[in-house]
Structure formats: structure tokens, C-alpha cells
Amino acid sequence: MSVVEFATEKPYQAVIGPGVLDQLGRYLGAATKVGVLHAPPLSGAAQRAADTVRAAGAEPVLIELPEGESAKTPRVLADTWSALAVAGFTRGDLIVGIGGGATTDLAGFIAATWMRGIRWVSAPTTVLAMVDAGIGGKTGADLPEGKNLIGAFWEPSAVLADTGLLGTLPVGELRAGLGEVIKHGFIADGRTLDLIAASPSEALDPTSPLLTELITRSVQVKARVVSADLRESMSVGDDVGREQLNYGHTLGHAIEAGEHFTRRHGECVGLGMIFAAELAHRTIGLAAEHVDRHRRMLELVGLPTSYRGIGWERARALMARDKKTRGSTLRFVGLRAPGDVTMIVDPPEQALLEAWDALTG
């Protein structure tokens, strides 16, 4: 078991390892009711959590959500708020989100908005959620016009990343999760890239110590960044704060929205990283060998490295809605070299088109 500290305004821990969901009772505080939000495939884990809550003297209220990104809609938000009202939840009660990133995003936003904010515990069950959506305090939901357009920064009281639950994941989910792990490697932890390159099959084994190490290293990267800049307020010139965690996300989110959230987030981020690397090569001098390494790393774990889908005009329009955009000015997280992060602001249209052609050609 590993413990990573998040030194934010409201400090919390991420506990990583098999069986850690059973520690939930330690984090109930004075709650008399605990809302356990989960998708249908995780009913067993939700029942485990409910038993733990009961044993600690509180009342569990199980709330089943739609699976995946379909949970993050205004309708599901309203239904969940209503369920809490019917159950009599107060400011002293607690929300637990058990599932992938969509579930933890929604659970955190429910907690942030119920009676202007109650405590919550994130229990991510996918690699992607353990290293990204489930751990940093970003919560939210989607609109037809774009991903995560509504949301709040609301840190959990704890993160319980139970790696014993990863064995149920299809290999596609494991691959997608490693897309975010690779992202952390490029922005802040070259050792992660070396570990994956040395043993990609072990990195994809949900029972392997290597995968647990990779998850822990990614959580450590995110903890360092989030502890310094919870609300993405520090990107000035080369001083890139939390926005660096959005490497690959500008185009990645556009692809997700353009394909109606039918493609896995980690795949889209991988494609977005290749686009960002090609753009950095043309604008801020990222060496061609590092662009090539983006493709090699993604190929090693079975992620796509070229794209055929929405067209450029649609992609550009969707990128213009990205939260990093200021007015009509596109902004991208870019690399001068691995670990050397900066912002690419208002890149030339020709460079954008060439980067797109390199991804789609």
C-alpha cells in the first residue's frame, strides 16, 4: 500500500493498493448518511462499501448511475440531487463515488453543490480515474456543446484507489489509462516512460507490481502540481501551473465531444499529445526525436497514433471552446523537451494545419 499526500487548502491523502476500499469507515467523520454513487458493473464494490458504512454506524444510500460519460448530464445531476433530498441528506453527510472518471467527476460535483458543499470520498476503479479524474479535486458534468463545461474545484476528503478492482477491466480500459500515465511521464517523470518501455506487457497486467508503481508515480506527479496550483491560476509565461496536466487535452477533448463521447478519454488524450508534440516541433523547437517518442510510447501500449474521424474545421471549432482558450485565442500546453513545459499561445494557422496533417495523414 502507498500513501500520497495532497497539500492543498484542505489536505487529503490518496491511498493506493489492493483492498483499500475497506478503509472507507475511517473517513466518515460525523456523517449519519453516506451516498454511495456507482455504475451498474460496480454493484459488488458498492455493496462492500455499504457494508463498511453500516459497520461504522452510518446509513448507506446506494445510488446507481448510468455507465460512463452518459452519467455526466444535467438530467442525472437533477435525479441524484432529488435522491439525496428524498433520503434527507444534510450538510454533515458524505458522498462516495465508486467507479471510473465519469462517476468520480459526477460524485464530486454532487458533493460540491449539495447544500453548497459536503464532504466526499473518491474511490476510482480504473487506471484512468486513479491517475487523473478521481484524484485532483476537479469535478463536473458535460453539456451537448462540450465536455466538463460545468463543474467546480472540490477536493475529496480522501482517495481510495483499490488496485484489487483493476482485474475486472477490459484491456482497452487499461490501455486508455496508460495514455494518461504516459502524459505524466512526458510532462514531469521520464522514469515512468522508461519503465513502460522496458516492460509494456507488465504495464498492462492489472495484477503486476509495475502497474501499481506506475499509478503511484502518476499520483505523485499530480499531487505535486495540484498542491501548488489547485485552480489552474498560475500559468503566466513559462510558469505553467496546473494547466500542464492538460497536455494533449485541447484536441483530445475536441475529439471526444466531436465523436459524442464514444471514444475512450485516454485514447483521445494520446492523439492530442501527438498533435501537441507536432505543433511544438513547429513552434517552440521540440526535437523530432521526441515527437517520434510520443508515437512509440503510445504504440507500445496499443493506443492509436493516427486519427480518422471529425474534420479539421469541426476540431478547430471545438478547440475554441476549450477552457484554456482566452477569447478567440487558442492556447496549448507544449513541450520544449520532455519535462520542460510551456504554453503555446495563438499558434500560426499554418502550424496548426501541419500538425493536424501529421496526425491524420
* 233 appears as a binding residue in the annotation: no
- In angstroms, the CA 1 to CA 241 distance is 29
Q: What angle do CA 44, 120, 252 make, to 5 degrees?
A: 80
281 has binding-site annotation = no
Q: Tell me how far apart the alpha carbons of residues 102 and 124 are, in angstroms, rounded to a whole number.
A: 10
Is residue 232 annotated as part of the catalytic site, yes or no?
A: yes
> Is 138 a residue of the active site?
yes
Whether 183 is catalytic is: no
Q: Which of 48, 184, 253, 264 is catalytic?
A: 253
Whether 38 sits among the annotated catalytic residues: the reply is: no
180 catalytic? Reply is yes
- Residue 265 counted as an annotated binding residue: yes
Pick the catalytic residue: 180, 243, 267, 278? 180
Asked if residue 68 belongs to a known ligand binding site, the reply is yes
Whether 265 is catalytic: yes
- Of 75, 119, 76, 122, the closest CA to residue 101 belongs to 122
Q: Known catalytic residue: 253?
A: yes
Task: Find out whether 249 is annotated in a ligand binding site.
Answer: yes
Question: CA 243, CA 229: separation in Å to the nearest integer?
Answer: 9
Active-site entry in 33, 263, 265, 324: 265
Q: Which long-range contacts (CB under 8 A, 24 or more apart) does 166-172 make?
A: 166/125, 166/126, 166/127, 166/206, 166/207, 166/211, 167/206, 167/207, 168/41, 169/126, 169/127, 169/206, 171/204, 171/302, 172/264
Please indicate if the annotation marks 137 as binding a ligand: no
Known binder of ligand: residue 262? no
Let me know if 191 is a catalytic residue.
no
The verdict on whether residue 102 carries a ligand-binding annotation is yes
180 annotated ligand binder: yes
Q: Say which of 33, 38, 48, 138 is annotated catalytic.
A: 138
Is 205 annotated to bind ligand? no
What is the helix (H) or strand (E) element at residue 331, kind and residue range? strand 331-337
Residue reference for cell 465508486: 98
In the set 246, 264, 267, 294, the catalytic residue is 246
80 annotated to bind ligand:
no
Binding residues: 67-72, 101-105, 125-126, 138, 147, 180, 249, 265
* Binding residue ranges for Zn(2+): 180, 249, 265
* Active-site amino acid positions: 116, 138, 180, 222, 232, 242, 246, 249, 253, 265
Binding-site annotation, residues for NAD(+): 67-72, 101-105, 125-126, 138, 147
